[in-house]
Amino acid sequence: MTKPTLRLSTAFEYARAAHEGQTRKGTDIPYISHVMSVSALVMEHGGDEEQAIAGLLHDVLEDCGAEHEPIIRDRFGGRVAKIVRDLTDGVPDASGRKEPWRVRKERFLARHETMDNESLLVSLCDKLHNARTIAGDLRAGHQVFARFKEANRDGVVWYYDELVRVFRLRLGKDDPLFREFQRAVADIFERA
C-alpha cells in the first residue's frame, strides 16, 4: 500500500461519527474498534487505501442507514461505495427493521461467490476480526451466542461454516488470509 493520505483520516472521522454511541454486541467496547481493526487487516494483507477506507465504512449502511450511501460515494468515490454496498447484508427500513437474519445471510453468502476480489479482501478481513473476537470471548467464558438476537448458536455455527466454504472456494485452501480465518473459525467450533 502506498502512503496513506488524508482521505483515510477523513474516513475514520466519518466512521467514528456514524457509529457514535454504538458498541460491539453484548459489550461496552466502542464499535469503532471493529472497523479500525478491519481497516488495519486490509492494509496488512495488501489492500490499497480505498479498500482500507471501505474497511472503516463497511458497516455504516447496515448499522446506520441507507442515507449514508450517497455521502460515502460523494466523499470517497464510487469504488469505496461499491465495496461498502457489497459488504452490506441488509439496510434497516424506515422503522429500523431488517429482513430476517437467515434471509440476509443466505443472500450475503451467495453474493460472495461472485463478488470481485477487492470486496472479497475487505469482507474476509471483517469476518476474520469477527471470528477472532467470538473465539476470544468464548475462551474467556462469555455467553457469546446470547448476543445474537436472531441467530442462536446453531445459526452462528452454520454461518461461519458457510463462510469457510465460500472463502475456500474463492481463494483456495492455501491462501494465507483464508488459513487465518479457518483457524479462527475452528477455534469457535471447538468451544461452541
| pLDDT tens column, 9-67 | 999 999 999 999 998 988 899 999 999 999 999 999 999 999 999 999 999 999 999 99
The DSSP-derived string for 59-92 is THHHHH-TTHHHHHHHHH-HHHHHHHHHT-----
Catalytic, out of 48, 63, 106, 187: 63
User: Is the confidence at residue 92, as pLDDT, over 90?
Assistant: no
Q: Is 62 a catalytic residue?
A: yes
- 1 pLDDT band, cuts 50/70/90, is low
Catalytic, out of 49, 50, 59, 62: 62
Q: The domain 6-86 belongs to what CATH superfamily?
A: Hypothetical protein af1432 (1.10.3210.10)
pLDDT in tens, 143-169: 888 888 788 899 999 999 999 999 999
* Whether the predicted model's global pTM rises above the 0.85 cut: yes
Kindly report, as residue ranges, where domains of CATH 1.10.3210.10 are found in the chain: 6-86
Mean pLDDT of the chain: 94
Q: Which candidate, 181, 143, 187, places its Cα nearest to that of 164?
A: 181
